[in-house]
Amino acid sequence: MNRELREFRRLERVCRESAAITTLPMERDALLVVAEDLRKAIEAREPARQAKA
């Protein structure tokens, strides 16, 4: 699970960094939506991880 969370965080960071450098508004918006979805997935999984500890 920890490995999965790290990968979600990495993908979120890549999406945000890509959105920061793109010149196409539609592409930027799409990347930010994906980053937000990844953030929600991370937040949803973290409490489950803390409950197991």
Task: With beta carbons less than 8 A apart as the criterion, state whether 31 and 22 touch.
Answer: yes
> In this predicted structure, what is the pLDDT of residue 41?
93
pLDDT tens, residue by residue, 16-32: 999 999 999 999 999 99
- How far apart CA 4 and CA 1 sit, in angstroms, is 5
Give pTM, 2 decimals: 0.82
In this structure, the dihedral spanned by the alpha carbons of residues 49, 40, 3 and 34, taken in order and rounded to 10 degrees, is 170
H or E stretch covering 20: helix 2-21
Query: Mean of the per-residue pLDDT values for the chain?
Result: 91
